[in-house]
Structure 1
Amino acid sequence: MKKILVTGATGQLGSELKVLSTSYSKYDWIFADRTKATLDDLELLNSQLSEIKPDIIFNCGAYTAVDKAESERDLAFKINHLAVELIAKYAAKNNVKLIHISTDYVFDGSSSTALREDAGTKPINVYGESKLAGEIACLKENPKAIIIRTSWVYSKFGNNFVKTMKRLMQEREEINVVNDQIGSPTYAADLAQVMIDIVESSKWISGIYNYSNEGEISWYEFALTIKELGQYKCEVGGIPSSSYPTPAKRPSFSLLDKTKIKSIYNLEVPDYKESLKKIFI
């Protein structure tokens, strides 16, 4: 029985993989939280990997506090760069299949067309820099690895935009949401299924892939869709990013082109609205 190690098991993606794992009992699933796969302690992480001896690694663990990363640069790089490098090295040495999750934040947001995997990277915040360093290290140490860049992840689990909006729209009469950052959301359950589909596929074609749901929207439009589906009465206003300053800059445009993953793995990517409906069931 092949063993799949999932790092970041209590996060959004890890939690969705746990739900799906019950339908894939032919694998021995190891869901590792921070105590079982300690990404901020490299020596310990190395011994944990040697003890677990996985056949496949889904590296979903990451430092994701985008604003906090501006003041915790070393920690962000340790988890998003050095731990990824170590995992990639281990996977290469032990012939382990590795799927590593990355982000649209590796881009600077200056594009006006959907970004392909070979588009130039230029992060504008520490989180993006640390994730890009992780990508580079991953493919350098392990050219057979698969990296999936994703964006605007949400789920029934963890903290995310959808859950925050649902709460605020029930608590307040009026909220404002930025309307000048464009991209597409990703339902973590959809991405989790894609990761399993890749492993189940007869093809393993290494390199970088993009994945998010279909649609080109702003956070404001995303909020309006949440309002519509939840039938909330709250008034939603659109504001520019300049009216909502944050410690870390966000890319103003990070729509991902999914052509590569769709054609190679013959995937149907759901529209963002169709996936979002599942959160309201």
Structure 2
Amino acid sequence: MKSVLVTGANGQLGKSIQKLTSSYPQLHFVFSSSTDLDITDIKSIKKSFSNRAFSYCINCAAYTDVENSEKEPEKAFKVNSEGANNLALVCKEQQTVLIHISTDYVFDGEKGTPYVVSDPTNPINVYGASKLQGEKRIQELMNTYFIVRTSWLYSEFGKNFYKTILQKAREGADLSVTDDQMGCPTHAGNLAKYVLDLIVGESKDYGIHHFTDEEILSWYGFAEKILRENNLSDKVRLEKAKNYRTFARRPKYSVLKK
């Protein structure tokens, strides 16, 4: 039986993996939250590995606050780059395959057509830069790794766009959402299945992969879809935001192609 360590287990993807465990009886999971295992502390990682030999480590731990990354870049780089580096070092030492989750924000969004794995990266915000540096650290240290870039994650867990729109709509609030960014909303449960299937399928296709749910939408279009799915389209006013501004720059077109 393959033993799988999941870091950042209390996040959207970590919880989505937990939800699927009964569908993968051939895998033994150890779920570690940031309080159990701090990936920025290599001693913490080594302690977790000292108790058991892991075949795979799925790194769901990340600093994902795009706005605050601009204000606290050291935090973003500490988790997303240094943390990835620490995991790669220990996984290499322990001969553990690392599956690391990355982001569409490693691209600048200027291409105008879907990004493939081989496209040059050029992040335009701190979050994207920190995640890209994490990717590079892993690539420099390891051969047996999967870097899985995804985008616009949502689920029934944690804080995300889907839950925010749904909550505001149910409260009867008017909604104003930008339509000047395009991407692929991706359910964390589908990403979890993709990652676990890499393991049970014993894939040796190491390197960078792209995974999304493939439907291309703007945030406004995604909000429309959420209202439609929950029969709220006629009960809430949804308009396109004018002069939408965020502290962090965001790619206008960050669609990923598998």
**Fold-level similarity (TM above 0.5):** yes
Q: Is 1:36 the equivalent of 2:1?
A: no
Inter-partner Cα distance in structure 1 for 2:64 and 2:173:
30
Once the two structures are aligned, what percentage of the paired residues are identical?
A: 38
Aligned partners of 1:4 and 1:28 also within 8 Å = yes
- Indicate yes or no: 2:236 matched with 1:234: yes
Task: Give aligned pairs, total.
Answer: 256
The structural deviation recorded for 1:34 is 1.0
CA contact (8 A) 2:41 2:86 kept: no
- How many Å separate the matches in 2 of 1:52 and 1:130? 30
Distance in 2 (alpha carbons) for counterparts of 1:250 and 1:21? 34
8 Å CA contact retained: 1:37, 1:45:
yes
Alignment of 1:1-281 (within 5 A): 1-232=1-232, 233-240=235-242, 243-258=243-258
For residues 137 and 50 of structure 1, what CA distance do their matches in structure 2 show? Answer: 23
With over 3 angstroms needed to count, the CA separation of the structure-2 counterparts of 1:180 and 1:197, relative to structure 1, is same
Report the TM-score, using the length of structure 2 for normalisation: 0.95
Secondary structure of the corresponding residue to residue 79 of structure 2: helix
Distance 1:224 1:71 in 2: 31
**Over aligned residues, Cα RMSD in angstroms?**
1.3
Q: Which amino acid aligns with 2:86?
A: L
Distance of aligned partners of 1:56 and 1:212 in 2 relative to their CA distance in 1, 3 Å threshold: same
Q: How far is 1:47 from its partner?
A: 2.8
How far apart in 1 are the matches of 2:141 and 2:106?
19
Change (3 A) 1:52 1:36: farther
Task: Return closer, same or farther for 1:28/1:10 CA change in 2, 3 Å cut-off.
Answer: same
1:29-53 deviation line (CA, Å, top 9, x unaligned):
1010012221233333333333343
Q: Could you tell me which amino acid in structure 2 is paired with residue 141 of structure 1? A: L
The answer to whether the 8 A contact 1:174-1:236 is kept is yes
Residue aligned with 1:117, SS:
coil
Unaligned runs of 5+ in 1: 259-281
Give the superposition deviation at 1:18: 0.2
Q: Which runs of 5+ in 2 are unaligned?
A: none
Aligned AA (2:98): L
Q: What's the counterpart of residue 278 of structure 1?
A: none
The Cα shift of 1:197 comes to 0.7
8 Å contact kept, 2:39–2:86: no
Shift of 1:140: 0.8
